[in-house]
Amino acid sequence: MAEDQPVESPEEFRTRVAAWYAANATPRQETDPWAVNLQTDPAEAAKHFETSRQWQAKLADAGLMGLAWPAEYGGGGGPGWMTRIEREISRDYEEYTGFAGATTAMLGPALLRHASEEQKQTFLPALLSARLTFCQLFSEPGAGSDLASLGTRAVRDGDEFVLNGQKVWNSAAQFCDWAFVLVRTDPDAPKHRGITFLLLDMKSPGVEVRPLVQINRATHFNEVFLTDVRVPVANVIGEINEGWSVARTVLANEAAFIGGGPKAPASDNLRSLARESGADKHPVLRQSLADLITRERVVGWMGEQIQAAIRRGEMPPMDPGLIKLMTADIRARSGTLAMELRGAAGLAGDEPETFWAQSELVGRFAISIGGGTNEVLRNNLGERALGLPREPGFSKDQPWKDIPR
């Protein structure tokens, strides 16, 4: 909170925020439990993106974005419990911040930790207010699971870097104003130590965005081609050739966001399918459903603990990659169980239950890949959390240019 403002109690803050939402937002209506959040029409997807962006701007104007961020960067400078209370209240309303809010949660902590003072003053208020929206340009056709092997080159030319390469699986890149991008600035250094983290204006000459049509007919992901794109050296976050540490901050927050965001548990619908088919009396299927419900609740508790630590400015009590890995496992179990409970009706037909079950099955792979594949996360958890030796492979001190690709 600003120094000249009286300190509110949690009860006073809750009353004030609840009154603001009641006056400015739409109370959540009873929704179809079988509805799938999917935009297959590009125009509808663009409208959804812009609506969410405008809502975040409205929240920022009301002082309800970045409640625990430093006030000098557009935040509220308040304690972490303010963020928790605001999120609790917001769940009763239709409006939400969507993709802009997700990237704020991912990029904001990295800028707070690694950016220069000038960069913080420039980008953090714009990020909080959604005046600038950012997409992530990390993965490449040859550097997905092993992100540190990325090959998009950035060659310094005076006060600029010249970028050439291709990125892929870039969410909402067709809508965003800016990007945070990883580039190879020193091919003679080991792969983790020759990477630089840049902020890139997506309107720069040489940036081409091509939407990718997914199996569910949506075009949420894109591939981005960079051809002689010039980026000021002043846009480097952290140090040149030391961008991997910045990327890890982003990836940790991404994993926590993917695994810890509020969402209706799939088990609610799975219970309905079980009752409808009579499978709720089948001992093996009942056990599978009980196992999934238990895992959902454990992950929910873990997410609360991680988010609470982040709001307090503390290190999470567990590796965020763990909650993301467990969420991917739950999604895989949910998709399999949904089709098993639906039976032959899950293969064809236009019933909402059928479409939901199919989407649950197809969507299992997105969680297993996005934000780091399960296989890579298991390696990282083994090394970081359990202290296991590194996986056998090329020497970590071997120059990137000498590693076969």
Q: How many CA atoms lie within 13 A of 241 on its CB side?
A: 11
| Between 312 and 104, residue with greater pLDDT | 104
Question: Hey, which CATH number is domain 11-133, 3.40.50.410, 1.10.540.10, 1.10.287.130, 1.10.10.10?
Answer: 1.10.540.10
The three-state secondary structure class of 366 is: helix
Predicted confidence band at 346 (pLDDT cuts at 50, 70, 90)?
Answer: confident
- pLDDT value at residue 6: 58
The three-state secondary structure class of 140 is: strand
Q: Identify the top-confidence range among 229-238, 304-313, 326-335.
A: 229-238
Predicted confidence band at 258 (pLDDT cuts at 50, 70, 90)?
Answer: low
- pLDDT value at residue 58: 97
Q: Which of 140, 242, 254, 340 is catalytic?
A: 254
Give Cα separations from 378 to 30, 351, 375, 381, 400 (angstroms). 39, 38, 5, 5, 23
Residue with tokens 């928790």: 84
> How many other C-beta atoms can be found within 10 angstroms of the C-beta atom of residue 9?
9
- pLDDT value at residue 89: 96
Burial class for 107, CB neighbours closer than 10 Å (0-12, 13-18, 19+): buried
- pLDDT value at residue 5: 56
Q: What is the mean pLDDT of residues 373-381?
A: 84
pLDDT tens digits, residue range 148-206? 899 999 999 999 999 999 999 999 999 999 999 999 999 999 999 999 999 999 999 99
For residues 156 and 199, give the distance between their C-alpha atoms in angstroms, rounded to a whole number: 15
Predicted confidence band at 80 (pLDDT cuts at 50, 70, 90)?
Answer: confident
- pLDDT value at residue 144: 80
- pLDDT value at residue 394: 63
CA–centroid distance for 343 within its chain: 33
Checking if the pLDDT of 262 tops 60, the result is no
User: Which helix H or strand E contains 236, and what residues bound it?
Assistant: strand 236-237
Predicted confidence band at 256 (pLDDT cuts at 50, 70, 90)?
Answer: low
- pLDDT value at residue 177: 97
Q: What percent of the chain stands above pLDDT 70? A: 94
- pLDDT value at residue 306: 77
For residues 262 and 331, give the distance between their C-alpha atoms in angstroms, rounded to a whole number: 15
pLDDT tens digits, residue range 113-146? 999 999 999 999 999 999 999 999 999 998 887 8
pTM of the model: 0.83
For residues 10 and 17, give the distance between their C-alpha atoms in angstroms, rounded to a whole number: 10
pLDDT tens digits, residue range 321-333? 888 889 899 999 9
For residues 109 and 256, give the distance between their C-alpha atoms in angstroms, rounded to a whole number: 12
pLDDT tens digits, residue range 23-77? 999 998 877 788 877 778 889 999 999 999 999 999 999 999 999 999 999 999 9
- pLDDT value at residue 27: 95
Checking if the pLDDT of 365 tops 90, the result is no
The three-state secondary structure class of 84 is: helix
For residues 72 and 120, give the distance between their C-alpha atoms in angstroms, rounded to a whole number: 9
CATH of region 135-241: 2.40.110.10
Q: What is the mean pLDDT of residues 351-363?
A: 89
- pLDDT value at residue 86: 95
For residues 198 and 242, give the distance between their C-alpha atoms in angstroms, rounded to a whole number: 11
- pLDDT value at residue 34: 84
The one-letter amino acid at 63: G
254 is catalytic: yes
> How many other C-beta atoms can be found within 10 angstroms of the C-beta atom of residue 343?
12
- pLDDT value at residue 255: 65
Q: Backbone phi, then psi, for 220, in 5-degree steps?
A: -70, -40
pLDDT tens digits, residue range 1-27? 545 555 789 999 999 999 999 999 999
C-beta of residue 299 within 8 angstroms of C-beta of residue 280: no
Checking if the pLDDT of 315 tops 70, the result is yes
